[in-house]
Structure 1
Amino acid sequence: MSAWAPGGALVASIDVTAATVQRGDVIQVGGHAARVRDLFQLPQGAKQLVFESGELLTIHARSRLVAVRSRRRR
Structure 2
Amino acid sequence: MSGGVPGGALASNVEATAAPVQRGDVIQLGGRASRVSDLFQLPQGAKQFLFESGELLTMHARTRLAAVRMLRRR
> Alpha-carbon deviation of 1:9?
1.1
1:36 paired residue number: 36
CA distance in 1, matches of 2:48, 2:66: 16
2:49 paired residue number: 49
Task: Give the % identical residues.
Answer: 72
> Alpha-carbon deviation of 1:50?
0.4
Give the match's secondary structure for 1:23: coil
1:23-61, Cα deviation, whole Å (9 max, x unpaired): 001011112110000000001110000000000000001
> Alpha-carbon deviation of 1:73?
2.4
Give the match's secondary structure for 1:44: helix
1:13 paired residue number: 13
Structure 1 alignment gaps of length 5 or more: none
- How many residue pairs are counted as aligned between the two chains? 74
CA distance in 1, matches of 2:32, 2:16: 17
CA distance in 1, matches of 2:71, 2:57: 24
The answer (yes or no) to whether the contact 1:8–1:73 under 8 Å persists in 2 is: no
Q: TM-score, normalised by structure 2?
A: 0.93
Moved over 3 A (4+): none
Give the match's secondary structure for 1:18: coil
Alignment of 1:58 onto 2:39: no
CA RMSD of aligned residues (A): 0.9
Give the match's secondary structure for 2:63: coil
CA distance in 1, matches of 2:69, 2:34: 12
